[in-house]
Amino acid sequence: MSERNRLQVYEVLVQETKDKFPVNVGSVRAPSPTLALQMAREVFARRENCVKVMVVNREAVHVLDDEEYLGYARKKVFRLPFLREREARPRERNGKQEDAG
Amino acid sequence: MTGYMTEQEFYRYVENGGKVDATDPMPEAYKREVARIMSFQALAEIVGTLLSAEWVPKAPSVIRKMMYTAKAQDEMGHAHILIRQCEDIGVTREQIIEEYLAGKRKLLNIFHYGFDRYEEMVVGMLMQNTGAIVQFQSLVKGSYLPYIRALRKIMKEESFHYNLAVDMVEYVTKNGTNEQRQIIQEAIDTWYPRMLAYFGPPEKGEPPVDALRWRIKCDTNDDVREAWLEKIVPLISSLGYTIHDPLLKKDERTGRWSYTEPDWEEVRRVINDGGPRSAYWKEKIRKCYEETRWVRDVVSRYSAGQAAAVGA
């Protein structure tokens, strides 16, 4: 196997502050998780503070990216808090209409 | 997203502003064009790193040396981020460097020159950073999402470099000697036409090139060049210097700039046959690449051991 194929791709996650979830910010190519972490710190956390850096071997990530399937959550009428016909009417914040639902 | 598209539908999709991710199916021609543009910038960042690093020992104070170390690290970080995107579509870092060393990859015109003095270097940085910023502002509107994400990260740091360059020019102007101010003005005169050429020749009259049609690039070379003039002209005069171009003028009605056209013959000659520092940079990169080979070998052996340990 050639030198370039042996290196693995690691996805990098950075947690900016403790009250936020870590976010995927990019990737590095490294021979081990330890070196991947060092590279990730160097590339993604050199200039900006954060509380945690994580790396995940890209091959260990399970992906669902069917945009049609993932994109229709908001189209389900039964997940809305009101009946469809209410949508057309102007919303009245503290008015009687609010509790007519 | 692009999974069920024919090639024609794909091109119509990107032409109409559709966005593409690395994992989406895409025609080979589109992929090649994206890789070409990203790897071209990656190589520029690698050379940019060496250029910055070279000024660490020569910078006039400890704090400027530290700032230049930080800048060199940023450039390498940019190279790394771009290279990762290239690798995801099949162009490796080794390929980028080895093809450049073999003469198969060209450098931007500005990397064929060097700086003899600190005062000249700070002007060059000011010109180059403003150029890079307007170029990235245009490219970030493009169709290829991994490039957009990479550019967003790069732009943040590029604006730091821009402010650093402005600060250095201001500092020398305020505290330096007349001779130093004179060198700054001369450097502006030298670098202005090179920077006009940096954005590439106009695509005038030709059918739009693939990169433009597929929205990998979003503005013509002329439009980006004028965006740069819009930025650099007031900046240079606010710093107390002049751009000596008798044709430089903005038509207030159309908003278009006129300027002295760069000598494109000369630009092509420099890019193909080299300028004053072309051989110098190539030799430096060759040396760096060879001298650090042992590091890559250690890493390679180590990763082989890792793979063996987990039975992969």
pLDDT of residue A75: 78
Q: For the ranges A88-92, B50-54, B63-67, which has the lowest average pLDDT?
A: A88-92
- Place A93 in a pLDDT band, splitting at 50, 70 and 90: low
Domains (range + CATH), chain B: 7-261 (1.20.1260.10)
Contact B73 A6 (CB under 8 A): no
Q: What is the pLDDT of residue A94?
A: 55
Cβ-based interface (< 8 Å): residues of B facing A: 1, 23, 73-74, 77, 80-81, 84, 87-88, 92, 94, 149-150, 153, 157, 160, 296-297, 299-300, 302-304, 306-307
Contact residues on chain B for A7, CB-CB shorter than 8 A: 299-300, 303
- The per-residue pLDDT for B215 is 94
Report the DSSP beta bridge partners of residue A8: A30
What is the model's pLDDT at position B297? 87
In chain A, where the domains are located: 3-90
* Lookup: tokens for B127: 């010109």
Mean per-residue pLDDT of chain B: 93
Note the pLDDT tens digit of each residue in A23-80: 999 999 998 899 999 999 999 999 989 999 999 999 999 999 888 889 887 778 788 8
Q: What is the mean pLDDT of residues B124-150?
A: 97
DSSP 3-state assignment of B240? coil
d(CA B135, CA B110): 15
A28 touches chain B (CB under 8 A): yes
- Does the pLDDT at position B1 exceed 70? no
CATH number of A3-90: 3.10.20.520
Residue B208 has pLDDT above 80, yes or no: no
Q: B150 and A9 in contact by Cβ < 8 A?
A: no
> pLDDT at residue B312 above 60?
no
Distance CA B178, CA B171 (A): 13
What is the value of ipTM here, to two decimals?
Answer: 0.83
Give the mean model confidence (pLDDT) for residues B160-169.
95
* Residue burial B94-108, b: 16+ Cβ < 10 Å; e: rest: ebbbeebeeeebebb
Beta strand residue intervals within chain B, DSSP E: 249-250, 257-258
**pLDDT over 90 (residue A4):** no
pLDDT score of A92: 55
What own/partner pairs with CB < 8 Å and gap ≥ 24 does A91-100 have?
none
Q: How confident is the model at residue B301 (pLDDT cuts 50, 70, 90)?
A: confident
Between vectors from CA B130 to CA B124 and to CA B132, what angle results, nearest 5°? 95
What confidence score (pLDDT) does residue A81 get? 82
Whether the pLDDT of residue A99 is over 70: the answer is no
Residue A28's pLDDT is 96
Taking alpha carbons only, the member of B185, B221, B218, B188 closest to residue B202 is: B221
